[in-house]
Structure 1
Amino acid sequence: MNYPMIRYVLAWVLRVEGAIMALPCLIALVFHEQTGFAFLLCMLICLTIGFAGTARRPRETEIYTKDGMVAVSLAWLVLSLFGALPFVMTGEIPNYVDALFEIISGFTTTGASIVSDVEALSHATRFWRSFSHWIGGMGVLVFILMMFPVRSGSQMNLMKAESPGYNVSKFVPHVRDTAKILYRIYLVMTIVQILILLASGMYWFDALCITFGSAGTGGFGVLNDSCASYTPFQQVVTSVFMIAFGVNFSFYYLLTTRRARDAFRMEEVRAYLGIILAAIVIISFDTLRMYASAGECVRAALFQVASIITTTGYSTTNFDLWPSLSKEVLLLLMCIGACAGSTGGGLKVSRILIFLRAAKRGIRSYVHPHNVMKVRMDGEPVSEEQVGSVYIFLILYVFVFALSVLVVSVDGFSFGTNFSAVAATLNNIGPGLEVVGPMSNFSTYGYLSKAVLMFDMLAGRLELFPVLVMLNPDVWTKGANKGRKRARGRLRASRVAA
């Protein structure tokens, strides 16, 4: 592995993290809060280490697939380790494990929290929690790629390791330009939502934080009741934008390049919207008797379906009190997730479609064994390699899910609590059911369970492969052996020259 380049990537991550910590410092200044000094100190620490690590660029800048996966996994870990420091330094989350859980939940856009009283936190801390969603939504390395001085192949390997979906493609020939397009769309949509919420009368601080959570499909609110206190119009606006940020960003790129026909031909987007509509109809009929009017019922169903399928995690009602059918629909949406190439989590609609079509092909092959049948998406054949990667992902997903449920069961909670806790973290959703429901939090879990759930949040955000590759001992052993061999070769060469 190219260890110098991996260290260089991590140093760049710290530079970016240090720079964005200036924002909570500014918020603390606006509200005259002492917590700003903690963020300022953390900012200086990150910038000092970051600039020291990037002062000298490595001679070999190539990053191969394996290096990209390890670099991305370590980058998110380093981002979280330093991002948790302000919580501890301010004393608002004094336990570092809890602080780490909170910030990992933030950066991975999960929204699972250990904080019981959100409104007791300072404005700077609440802003940092919410802004971590916005940074993690599109991905910190996607942002860095806009200015990263490495070869194009290396950039693509980093982007593939961080970006969600079964297949990552470039909009334009240069990866750096692709990153700029993604962030331009992301930024414009964010600004539009902020402006609409401000025009609706929402307080500017709430408008910023709620938008950051909607854009990153996170779920940290600034009020104890999440979004229940906001007006019906503000809830509908938030619902619409949550759904919009769960759409594959290729859809928006096609729209901006005047290829609307190609955009609306995307089968994943059509299936995603169809699933949302079906879920809203089912839940509305199932919960109609629980609400004063049909309009209120549909609005609640719309908000929760949008929040869960996009893995945002906001809530306007305690859906843990809904009938079993509605809760099972939400559990199903937790696993399905949003579109590939969006800021949402979950298995992704595209993977579900490919899996179902591959299963259909397998059944048909028994009836027509000599026919050559291809799995297709948007009219184009999906390669067997991509179909195979979907199978592998689903197998790993089930294995990690089952093992996680088994380990967190040591805390003695019910199966429903443990199952939904793992579903909520592995799919980057936030709230689960029962003990970890929308009106509760994850603080009651022990350290071992929190460690497992933190792993699930990181693995879910990075879609398993990068994290599992990083944990493979062969990656480090073989890399170290190659490094030692190169060192010995250089030593022998220098002796011959002497």
Structure 2
Amino acid sequence: MNYKLISKILGYILLIETAFMAPSLILSLVEKDGSASGFYIPMVLAVFLGLILINLKVEKKSLSPRDGILIVTASWILVSLVGALPLFIAAKMTYVDSFFEIVSGFTTTGATVISGIESYPRSVILWRSITHWIGGMGILVFTVGLLPKLGVGGFQIFKAESPGPVAGKIESTISQSSKRLYIIYIILSAALFLCLKIAGMPVFDSFVHTFGVLGTGGFSSYNDSFMSYKGNAVHFILAFFMFLSATNFTIYSLISRKKFKEVLQNDELKLWIFITLAAIIFITLDLYSKGYPTLLLAFRDSAFQVTSISSTSGFANADYDLWPSFSKFILLILMIFGGCAGSTGGGIKVTRISILLKLIKREMKKATHPKAVLPIIADGKTLSDEVVLGINAYLGTYFILAIVSTGIVTLSGVDVITGFSSVATTLSNVGPGFGDIGPTKNFAFYSDFFKLYFSVLMLLGRLEFFTILALFSKSRRRKDIIRL
């Protein structure tokens, strides 16, 4: 492994994290909330370490796939270790609680151990939400623009970071792709902020929820999320943008280049829209038939919670843990499915579900036509056996890990529903779940061991298992590298 180049890149990542802490430090100084030391201490530490690392002399300017995987994994852990310090110092939380909270932020999970968030300094609340925005598209994509300066193409890093089995080619180079993605990301962020302001939300809250929605995170400046928020406009605006945030960003790139035919032919998009609309309709009817006050309210709450859970944002405008069993079952399925590949959402990803359905359909046909050659086609292209095998391996790993982890978590004394939803919501990077971790509760009651265990699950889910697990593989390092 090229440890010097890896360390140099990690140094740049630390400096980037420091830059993102600056707004919280400024807010703390302006409001004189007494939490400034919680930011300048980790900032000084990160700058000091970052400058040492970026000044390392690197002779071999090439990265192997294994190097790229190590950078992704180490970066996520490193920014979480440093990012937890403001909560530890300024909010007087234990370091384990701080680490859990910030891992939840950077992985855009939104699971929390905090009760009464309104009592915390606004600078801490802001930093907590900024971690969602950074993590949403991956802090590694920021560094892609820096890698050419180091003499590195950066392909392996982008591949390891991009969520889903096929992220989609947006431009001819990784650097151009990352720039286009972030232009889209910033435009959507600005649009949501303006919509929330027009709808009457205060400036600070608009920033917090913009970061949370675009990153499909879930941290709010309100302890009950949106359960007490009056008016329909904000609820529908958030639902719409949560849906957009969990849609494959390649779609927006295609739209910007007027390739509407390719958009209409996108299998994942069609299934994503179908799943979302079907879930909203079924839950709306279920709620209204079971005594919800009005059909409009049932539709509003259904649309909000369906887009929140399926996008893995995790915001709540109602205590859905009290909803009918059928509605909760649909939400649990959506929690596992997640959003689209190439989006900021988590979960299994809709594209995998789409390909799995095609695989099942093919096997049913082969049962009656065993000699038939039936390729699996997605978006008009034939998928290789490698992609299909990778999807099967991912799904198998997800469910085995979920089952084993549920067994481990129940050792804490929680019931099976709470145990399974705790695992599913952290593994899929959703946030709140059912039972003792429902939308009105949190993870605070778990011991430090389980908080750290859930932190690992959040990282595994965010980096899609194999990115981290490959580091522990005994196989020899692959020879394909990038050289300039």
Report the TM range for the smaller structure's normalisation. over 0.9
Which structure 1 residue ranges, 4+ long, deviate > 6 Å from structure 2? 150-153
Residue of structure 2 equivalent to 1:19: 19
1:394 pairs with 2:386: no
Q: Distance in 1 between matches of 2:149 and 2:369?
A: 50
Once the two structures are superposed, residues 394-446 of structure 1 have per-residue CA deviations (whole angstroms, 9 ceiling, x without a partner) of: 11111211121111111101000000000110000000101000000001111
Secondary structure of the equivalent of 2:59? coil
1:265 pairs with 2:265: yes
Q: Distance in 1 between matches of 2:61 and 2:28?
A: 39
Shift of 1:43: 1.1
Task: Give the residue type in structure 1 aligned to 2:316.
Answer: S
Q: Aligned in 2, Cα 1:181/1:440: closer, same or farther, shift over 3 Å?
A: same
Residue of structure 1 equivalent to 2:214: 215
Task: Give the residue type in structure 2 aligned to 1:309.
Answer: S
Q: Distance in 1 between matches of 2:366 and 2:8?
A: 50
1:205 pairs with 2:204: yes
Residue of structure 2 equivalent to 1:112: 111
Greater shift in the superposed pair: 287-296 or 184-193:
287-296
Task: Give the residue type in structure 1 aligned to 2:226.
Answer: C
Q: Distance in 2 between matches of 1:462 and 1:404?
A: 17
1:34 pairs with 2:47: no
Q: Distance in 2 between matches of 1:191 and 1:295?
A: 28
Residue of structure 1 equivalent to 2:434: 433
Once the two structures are superposed, residues 52-98 of structure 1 have per-residue CA deviations (whole angstroms, 9 ceiling, x without a partner) of: 100135211211211111210111000101100111111x2421111
1:404·1:452 contact (CA, 8 Å) conserved in 2? Answer: no
Q: Distance in 1 between matches of 2:314 and 2:265?
A: 29
Equivalent residues in 2 for 1:391-470, closer than 5 Å: 391-470=392-471
2:109·2:218 contact (CA, 8 Å) conserved in 1? Answer: yes
Task: Give the residue type in structure 1 aligned to 2:335.
Answer: M
1:9·1:75 contact (CA, 8 Å) conserved in 2? Answer: no
Q: Distance in 2 between matches of 1:57 and 1:144?
A: 18
Q: Distance in 1 between matches of 2:66 and 2:355?
A: 25
Task: Give the residue type in structure 2 aligned to 1:134.
Answer: W
Q: Distance in 2 between matches of 1:412 and 1:421?
A: 13
Secondary structure of the equivalent of 2:343? coil
TM-score by length of 2: 0.96
Residue of structure 1 equivalent to 2:482: none
Shift of 1:169: 3.6
Equivalent residues in 2 for 1:64-75, closer than 5 Å: 64-75=64-75
Q: Distance in 2 between matches of 1:312 and 1:78?
A: 24
Task: Give the residue type in structure 2 aligned to 1:219.
Answer: G
Shift of 1:151: 7.8
Residue of structure 1 equivalent to 2:282: 282
Equivalent residues in 2 for 1:53-92, closer than 5 Å: 53-90=53-90, 92=91
1:70·1:469 contact (CA, 8 Å) conserved in 2? Answer: no
1:155·1:175 contact (CA, 8 Å) conserved in 2? Answer: yes
Q: Distance in 2 between matches of 1:42 and 1:137?
A: 22
Secondary structure of the equivalent of 2:440? coil
Q: Distance in 1 between matches of 2:254 and 2:365?
A: 34
Q: Distance in 2 between matches of 1:272 and 1:93?
A: 42
Residue of structure 2 equivalent to 1:351: 352
Equivalent residues in 2 for 1:16-415, closer than 5 Å: 16-90=16-90, 92-149=91-148, 154-230=153-229, 231-288=231-288, 289-415=290-416
Q: Distance in 2 between matches of 1:409 and 1:172?
A: 47
2:168·2:342 contact (CA, 8 Å) conserved in 1? Answer: no
Secondary structure of the equivalent of 1:21? helix
Shift of 1:152: 8.4
1:88·1:96 contact (CA, 8 Å) conserved in 2? Answer: yes
Q: Distance in 2 between matches of 1:104 and 1:457?
A: 7
Q: Distance in 1 between matches of 2:250 and 2:232?
A: 31
Q: Distance in 2 between matches of 1:464 and 1:339?
A: 17
Shift of 1:153: 7.3
Higher RCO by CA contacts (8 Å cutoff, separation 6 or greater): 2
Q: Distance in 2 between matches of 1:133 and 1:290?
A: 36
Greater shift in the superposed pair: 416-425 or 261-270:
261-270
Q: Distance in 1 between matches of 2:168 and 2:378?
A: 14
Q: Distance in 1 between matches of 2:356 and 2:92?
A: 42
Q: Distance in 1 between matches of 2:5 and 2:169?
A: 23
Shift of 1:37: 2.4
Secondary structure of the equivalent of 1:67? helix
Percent of aligned positions with the same letter in both sequences?
37
1:18·1:45 contact (CA, 8 Å) conserved in 2? Answer: no
Once the two structures are superposed, residues 180-217 of structure 1 have per-residue CA deviations (whole angstroms, 9 ceiling, x without a partner) of: 00000000000010011111111000000011100000
Task: Give the residue type in structure 1 aligned to 2:145.
Answer: M
TM-score by length of 1: 0.93
Q: Distance in 2 between matches of 1:152 and 1:325?
A: 55
**Where does structure 1 lack aligned partners over 5 or more consecutive residues?**
483-498
2:37·2:89 contact (CA, 8 Å) conserved in 1? Answer: no
